[in-house]
A and B are shown apart, each in its own frame.
Chain A
Amino acid sequence: MRWLSDDKLNHLRSVVSEPDFNATKYTFVKEVGRGGMGAVYLAEDRELDRLVAIKVLSTPDTEDLRKRMVREAQIIARLEHPGIVPVHDVGTLPDGRIFYAMKYVRGSRLDEYATQGASLRDRLRKFQAVCDAVAFAHAHGVIHRDLKPQNIMIGSFGEVLVLDWGVATIRDNPCESVGTVVGTQNYMSPEQARGEIDQLDERADVYSLGAVLQFLLNDQPKVSKAAQAICAKAMSQTKQDRYATASDLSTDVGRLLDAEPVSAYRENAFERVSRWVSKNRFLVLLVLAYLLMRIFLIFTSRG
């Protein structure tokens, strides 16, 4: 018998861990991503003759957990919003792993989009769209729990889509046992990182949104104190200090875009004037031009 080296063994393990879609209507095409909770594959839906993205979750430990995961997937599948990638199908592979078939989105991930020279205003508008999608899910009791730039897609027509609801949970009905940590470091709220699953609510997602906003602002040359304050408020260590909802966060970002005062930052008189000037630049220029003209006329009439 052939001796299998560690490298060969790992290679075979990887080959074998590819999902077996034989009992489904999908045909495996290729792996497109891998994360802590599972892998995403591109597959062909043979019945509808279209490509889909299939997320295969890691193996559930118990039958009870498996059933709860499927039930939650069904609830998530009911979320119909233009900013939420629709789940077409939920099922179980023969080896016990659960999969979700989702719309296959063509476009750039938010982290890629950020490197393509998008302006600050464009970034903030996209971010607002993310907040709106997440707020919609919250209104239906669904918490995403793994918001990060890699889970947000900017479609070919500029549409914003929040992906990967595979680890989402239903408020007041957490799927994982207490102590299970899901999410991604740097984007995960402190309570989530501590594994306090029963403490998780919408504000865990608000924290992650704050981290996403910070990511979008990181490489910007000039970030206002108001924008920084919005990030800081969303990412407060104590959840009571954060925005209560994703909608509140979205509203503050909208105010920032409209050069209006934001709830996260108390500005001084100078900043207030400066913001007013910035917002009414055209009017200010017009008044200045008028004043200059008057001064010019006064001087010329005296001469």
Chain B
Amino acid sequence: MIDPDTDIGGPLHKFPVTNHSAIINARSDDQLIRRRAFDTILASYWKPAYKYVRLKWHADNEDAKDLTQGFFAHAFEKNYFATYDARKASFQTYLRTCLDGFVANERKAGARLKRGGDYSQLDFAAAEDELAAHAASSSLSPEDYFHREWVRWMFTLSVEAFRERCADLDRTVHFQLFERYDLSDDKVSYASLANEFGLDTVTVNNYLAAARRDFRRIVLEKLREITATDEEFRAEARSLLGVNR
């Protein structure tokens, strides 16, 4: 039987618990709903988009920053995402194609962008550091690189969301165990974790199982938010999680 104590936030019976697609909400006539949807899309894609512009378009960091901000500002103003058709391509591919079109046009115009809007929450410096540290070793095509960075970013966001949720629910031990066992570079055993946290190994096992279950739920919730249809969700789940096995 599942130990109810291992269920973070109470019993988890059904998944996914949310079915709010930002892609669908991006078509809303309600400005507030549309803004929220746009913010979700921005949060999910700005970093892979920035890195992609840096690599594919050989933009310097300031240029790439302006182009990325400009693209999302333009997308909101022109309501790009409302015209997305899930039957034709995944949203990820659609967004990348729009981005390519946008950058090509801007390059053609030759003007340096300075867009309005508040993008202070986007940590371009961190993205630049990651790019400097890891992009040089990548042998992927720009498109595959975009996809891989999007997967990485989705998991990064999910880890942060999981950390916050655990903190809200006073389940920090669950997160700490998950962090030590699944995120840390150190090889640790359940026994050593039990010793470190003053628990028995069965409890460590239960807490970790629950933590992984909830982490999975968060990843899929995030994915559900940025897909438009069930079919796209499943296809992206397969791609994101590598579950076509």
Contact = CB atoms under 8 A, between A and B. Distances in A.
Given A20-B15, A27-B2, A61-B234, A4 B216 contact: no
A49 to B, nearest CB: 10
Contacts of A10: 242
Contacts of B220: 16, 94-95
Nearest to A14: B242
B4 to A, nearest CB: 12
B244 interface: yes
Contacts of A15: 182, 212, 215-216
Nearest to B217: A20
Nearest to B209: A28
Contacts, number: 106
A280 interface: no
B241 A13 contact: yes
Contacts of A12: 155, 182-183, 215
A14 B243 CA distance: 8
- Which bucket holds chain A's interface residue count? 35 or more
B130 A3 contact: yes
A178 to B, nearest CB: 19
Contacts of A16: 212, 215-216, 219-220, 241
Contacts of A8: 182-183, 185
A4 B233 CA distance: 23
A32 B183 CA distance: 24
Contacts of B235: 59, 61
Nearest to A28: B209
B156 interface: yes
Contacts of B16: 94-95
Interface of A: 1-5, 8-18, 20, 22-23, 27-28, 34-36, 38-39, 46, 58-63, 94-97
Given A13-B241, A28-B209, A63-B230, 11 more contacts: A4-B152, A4-B155, A4-B183, A8-B183, A58-B245, A59-B234, A61-B235, A95-B15, A95-B220, A95-B243, A96-B234
